[in-house]
Amino acid sequence: MFRVAPLRPGRRLLAAATAMTTPLLPEDFLGLIDPLWSTTQLRGRVVARRRETDRAVSVTIEPGRDWDGHRAGQYVRVGIDVDGVRHWRSYSLSGPQDADHLTITVQAVPDGIVSQKLVRDLPIGTIVQLEQAQGDFVLPDAPSPLLMVTAGSGITPVMGMLRTLDAAGAVPDVVVVHSAPSAEDSIFAAELAAMAERRSGLRVITRHTGEQGRLDLAELDELVPDWRDRDAYVCGPSELLDAAGTHWAATPDRLRVERFTAPARSTGGSGGRVEYGDRAVDVEPGTSLLEAGEAAGVLMPSGCRMGICFGCVLPLRDGQVRDLRTGDVHGEPGDLVQTCISGASGTARLDTP
C-alpha cells in the first residue's frame, strides 16, 4: 500500500514543507484540493464508465502521477470503499498498454461485495486506491502464433493484449476461443468481431455455453488444429484452468494461465496452525492468538487483553481468523487483527513486529 518514490524537484519542496505539516505530510493538506496528489498512496479517479453487458462494465480510471503504466495482460489491485470499509481486489487491465488512463472491466459475481459495487454504483469522480500493475500474464516481445482460451470475464487481460497489438498495427497470428453463456453476456463481442474483420491475423471463435454447452479442450483439435504450435494463454474459471493444466501437461512451457478466483480460504472450524513470523504454533479452539503465541514463547505485543486497546494488533498475511466474541470468521491479507480476541480458524500467517 505504501511505496517510496524517487525525489523529483517538486518532491524536495514537499519534503521541506513537512516542517510545516508535521506530524502529517503536505499531501494530507494538498489532498483537500486533489486526492491524486499523494506521493505515499497511489490513487485514481473514476473518469468514465461504459456498460459492456448487463453484468459487466468497463471503468476508466485516471491514475495519480506515480502510476508507472502497465504491460498488456497485467492486473492492478484496486482498493474500493464499500459501506465505509476498504476492500482490495485485483482486476486485469483491459485497455491498451500505453494509454494515459487505465481501464478495468468488471463482471458482477452474485453477492460479490466489490464487483457489484463497481458494476452498479460507482459514480464518476469516485476516488479509488491503486497499486502498481503486476503479473506476468504478458506477451513475449516477439510473439509466435498465439492461442487465447478465455471464458466469462477471463477475456479482459486478453482484450488488453489484443488492443495493444491492434494499436501497434501488428496483430500476429492469433486465435481467440471465448466462452460466454449467451451472445448478450459476451463481453467485447462487437469489438472483437470488428477487429477480426480489420486484422487478417485474428480469428475469433465464440462459444455460447447456454446453447452449445461447455467447451471441452479436446475440441481444440478440431477448432484450432495447430494448437500445439501456439503459445497458449488461458483465463477463466478454475475448472477451465485445471483442465488446461492437464491438456498441456506434455508442453507446460507453452501454457500461461491467469487465475481470477481467490486462493482457497479456511472454511471455519476451530483452532488451527498459525505462523507467527517464522514460527508455527498449533492454536487450540477457544484459545486466542495472543495466548497461543505467548505460550509458544513468541514476543507478542499486548495491552488490555480484552479487545479494547488495540495494543495487540498484528497484520494478517494469509488465511483468516475467528472473532472469539462473535464466532465470525474474517480477515484478508493485510488486515490488522486484534490477537487477544481472535482465535484460529484453519491455517493463517501473521507478521510479527
Ligand X SMILES: Cc1cc2nc3c(=O)[nH]c(=O)nc-3n(C[C@H](O)[C@H](O)[C@H](O)COP(=O)(O)OP(=O)(O)OC[C@H]3O[C@@H](n4cnc5c(N)ncnc54)[C@H](O)[C@@H]3O)c2cc1C
Please count the residues of this chain forming the interface with another protein, following the rule CB under 8 A.
Answer: 30
**Among positions 15, 47, 261, 328, the unique one binding ligand X when judged by CB under 6 A:** 261
Task: Work out what residue 20 binds among ligand FES, another protein, ligand X, none; the CB cut-off runs from 5 to 8 Å by kind.
Answer: another protein
Name the residue among 98, 146, 105, 145 with its Cα closest to residue 122. Answer: 105
Of 207 and 322, the one with the shorter C-beta distance to another protein is 322
Task: By CB under 8 A, tell whether 15 contacts another protein.
Answer: no
Task: Work out what residue 115 binds among another protein, ligand X, ligand FES, none; the CB cut-off runs from 5 to 8 Å by kind.
Answer: ligand X
**Choices 44-52, 243-251, 254-262, 290-298; region in contact with ligand X by CB under 6 A:** 254-262
Give kind and range of the element (H or E) at residue 276: strand 272-276
At a CB cut-off of 8 Å and minimum separation 6, what does 67 contact? 42, 44, 102, 130, 132
The DSSP 8-state label assigned to residue 134 in this structure reads: B
Task: Work out what residue 340 binds among another protein, ligand FES, ligand X, none; the CB cut-off runs from 5 to 8 Å by kind.
Answer: ligand FES
CB of 327 to another protein, least distance (A): 12
Task: By CB under 6 A, tell whether 233 contacts ligand X.
Answer: no
Name the residue among 310, 304, 278, 308 with its Cα closest to residue 293. Answer: 278
User: How does strand 313-323 pair with strand 279-283?
Assistant: unpaired
Task: By CB under 6 A, tell whether 105 contacts ligand X.
Answer: yes
The DSSP 8-state label assigned to residue 278 in this structure reads: T
- C-alpha–C-alpha distance, residues 307 and 278, integer Å: 25
Name the residue among 209, 206, 190 with its Cα closest to residue 198. Answer: 190
**Residue 336 near residue 313, CB atoms below 8 Å:** yes
Task: By CB under 6 A, tell whether 188 contacts ligand X.
Answer: no
**Among positions 48, 168, 262, 306, the unique one binding another protein when judged by CB under 8 A:** 306
Q: Supply 213's cell numbers.
A: 454447452
Task: Work out what residue 86 binds among another protein, ligand X, ligand FES, none; the CB cut-off runs from 5 to 8 Å by kind.
Answer: another protein
**Among positions 74, 94, 186, 338, the unique one binding ligand FES when judged by CB under 6 A:** 338
Of 22 and 326, the one with the shorter C-beta distance to ligand FES is 326
* 3-state secondary structure at position 72: coil
Give kind and range of the element (H or E) at residue 209: helix 209-212
Nearest 10 degrees: CA dihedral of 136, 138, 142, 145?
Answer: 120
**Among positions 14, 106, 147, 312, the unique one binding ligand X when judged by CB under 6 A:** 106
Binding mask 290-329 for ligand FES (x = CB under 6 A): ------------xxxx-xxxxxx-----------------
- C-alpha–C-alpha distance, residues 62 and 52, integer Å: 20
CB of 142 to ligand X, least distance (A): 25
Name the residue among 292, 339, 290, 293 with its Cα closest to residue 313. Answer: 339
Q: What are the residues binding ligand FES (CB under 6 A)?
A: 302-305, 307-312, 338, 340
| Site residues, another protein (CB under 8 A) | 1-2, 19-24, 28-29, 32, 41, 81, 83-87, 303-304, 306-311, 313, 326, 335-336
